[in-house]
Amino acid sequence: MNANPPRGKFITFEGGEGAGKTTQITRLAERLNARGIMTITTREPGGAPGADSIRSLLVSGATDKWDPISEVLLLYAARREHLKQTILPALNQGAWVLCDRFADSTMAYQGYGHGISKDFIRTLHAEVVGDSDPDLTLILDIPVEVGVGRAVSRNTSTRSGEDRFERMDKSFHERLRAGFLDIAAGAPERVRVIDADFTPEAITQTVWHIVTDKFELDSPADSA
């Protein structure tokens, strides 16, 4: 009888709008796959059929479309579906899961950004996520003006319509950035902050150094 494969690693990428998370997730997945590590990439809100349906409700429309508590509840409903249908099955099969946003985004956006009780969010998190927190979280930190400017340019070109949070005022985005940095300060074993106001290539190399060090892979110098 074959033994179960070792559990995969769960890595999340966080940060404000336009920080470059998608690019870095793609590049990390390519490097891990080249090492023979089975990898899947996913995102929040979304990542499972039910969660994708909830995503469409959250990321478009008027900035005041939802009461912030309603946002939290919708996000955790989507997160539960994502965990049960996508993340946990992949990890149990030995795959590494790279996720564009997870629970830290809810704490940053709705807790710090909108002022929802952090204890309320933590209680909900304990019930929904339990002990399935990420093994590593990389926060890509970038000045608000730079990040939001990038995000606006991206959505203008793609016309995705998924710009509800980007259109919130500058003070919201400043609270959001401060929130991510506070989250990192409170969880130094799990979270690393990366200065994302550099070239994508430089950020990719930093990500790779952190991942190889954290999980004791081969020296990062052998991949460019």
Find the CATH number of the domain harbouring 170.
3.40.50.300
Is 4 among the domain residues? Answer: no
Structure tokens belonging to residue 185: 């300060």
Structure tokens belonging to residue 143: 């000045």
Is 207 among the domain residues? Answer: yes
Amino acid at 147: G
Is 151 among the domain residues? Answer: yes
Query: Given pLDDT bands bounded at 50, 70 and 90, which one contains residue 184?
Result: very high
Is 222 among the domain residues? Answer: no
Number of domains in the chain: 1
Is 224 among the domain residues? Answer: no
**Coil/strand/helix, residue 116:** coil
Is 140 among the domain residues? Answer: yes
Is 141 among the domain residues? Answer: yes
Structure tokens belonging to residue 216: 């004791």
List, for residues 81-138, the tens digit of each pLDDT value. Answer: 999 999 999 999 999 999 999 999 999 999 999 999 999 999 999 999 999 999 999 9
Whole-structure pTM value? 0.90
The percent of residues in the chain predicted with pLDDT above 90, rounded, is: 74
Containing structural domain, residue 190: 10-216
Burial-class residue 46 by CB neighbours within 10 Å (0-12, 13-18, 19+): buried
Q: What is the largest CA-CA distance in the chain?
A: 58
Is 1 among the domain residues? Answer: no
Query: Given pLDDT bands bounded at 50, 70 and 90, which one contains residue 152?
Result: low
